[in-house]
Amino acid sequence: MFLEGSIQVPPDKSISHRSIMFGAMAHGVTRVHHFLKSEDCLATLNLFKALGVTIYEEGNQLVIVGKGVSSFQPPSEAIDVGNSGTTLRLVSGLLATCCFPITLTGDASLSSRPMDRVLQPLRKMGVTSQGQGEKETLPLILQGTSCLKPIQYHLPVASAQVKSALLFAALQAEGTSLIVEKELTRNHTEEMIRLFGGDIQVTGKQIQLTGPQQLTGTTLFVPGDISSAAFFIVAGLCVPNSHIWLTNVGLSETRTGILDIVQQMGGKVQVHPHSDTDYTGDIDVQASELVGTTISGSLIPRAIDELPVIALLATQATGRTVIKDAEELKVKETNRIDATVCELKKLGADIESTEDGMIINGPTPLHGGVVNSYQDHRMAMMLKIASLLVSPKETVQIKGEDAVKVSYPEFNQDLLKIINQ
């Protein structure tokens, strides 16, 4: 068995979320081409519909009729955002000037994820919130203020979600906010502020923004999601004699950590940018002999969502791979450090967890077994790729495989297209 063929990975989840958020808070019509219709992004769409925003499909476009945050209407009931941490965390800042209470709920996984890291700085700006316990988990009641204050804040964690929540709030605050990142994280929010006509200054890890600002509706195309492409990159590198071509993938420098990691490991991956100004391109992947490496520091935020499948990649590399500085993995859809280690061990991997990451020794032949996705979409897809690496006489049974619908509903169909017996 080998993998061969071309795949157009689904639209970028992070940008799809933000396209609705910015479209709703802007004034005028926003048209989004290549929107991701996954469960997470539909949670964002339904939230803004519940707030009275007009959103509809027109041909292959998603149309958002924005009238500004002041036009939002009180929802008739609590808003369920499902499993979407991006929705929950980012709208907590976007709703900072809504002067009526909004109750947000989610599924069991999202309800266990901490919100204190977002709510603490937002309270300094004037937002009122009421979560559950010390970590302020769901259900959560938010109420904004008409007198939102700017903030000067050093992020204690490298989190694009916390940063983005504060930027959404800062756009509406009276005065200048300064946000300093611990490490550079994905910059989609900053780029989209500019795309919607906003003014923002970024110098290294410092972000300065003066509000209030009125954004203007626009037209945008959502590129393919490199986090979804990552599973095929790893599959193409690890399955002998494979050659895969991934098209129209987003190549923002803040998201391409996996490409740098693969290069460190000796992987045969070639990137073909479409142009110097368009951050998209095609990725050519060939089966490779890999070596272990150390993944840490500024690389981690640029590959945070890909680390579980990178751990799988490391099981097939010669030598030791060390992943560290990755504590943020503990507060994803599940504790992805413990989950990755536990499930790959079931398949025979030589892998151990550490306080802030993992240590993997390879190469290790994997065998069949029964594994669990923990209803985490990235765990489910990682384990599906792992199943390609076991003997044809063995099978891998994945509990909760349907979690892929959160970000990549057509994942299994796309994988079947490139499997050659």
Annotated binding-site positions for 3-phosphoshikimate: 13-14, 18, 159, 161, 305, 332
Q: Which candidate, 18, 64, 58, places its Cα nearest to that of 40? A: 18
Cα 346 to Cα 368: distance, rounded to the nearest angstrom: 8
Beta bridge partners of 270: 284
Catalytic residues: 305
Q: Which candidate, 346, 405, 352, places its Cα nearest to that of 375? A: 405
Q: Which residue has the tokens 């690496």?
A: 389
Q: Which residues are annotated as a binding site?
A: 13-14, 18, 85, 113, 159, 161, 305, 332, 336, 378
Contact present, 320 and 290 (Cβ < 8 Å): no
Residues 245-274 as b/e (b if ≥16 CB within 10 A, e otherwise) read bbbbbbbbebbbbbbebbebbebbbeeeee
Beta bridge partners of 366: 390
Max CA-CA distance within the chain? Answer: 65
Q: Which residues are annotated as a binding site for phosphoenolpyruvate?
A: 13, 85, 113, 161, 336, 378
Q: Which residue has the tokens 């009526």?
A: 100
Instruction: Return the SS3 of 238.
Output: helix
- Which amino acid, one-letter code, is at 337? I
- Which amino acid, one-letter code, is at 223? P
Q: Which candidate, 237, 224, 246, 223, places its Cα nearest to that of 417? A: 246
The residues, ordered by sequence, that sit 6+ positions from 301 with a Cβ below 8 Å of its Cβ are 158, 160, 183, 184, 185, 186, 254, 257, 328
Cα 64 to Cα 61: distance, rounded to the nearest angstrom: 10
Cα 79 to Cα 106: distance, rounded to the nearest angstrom: 8
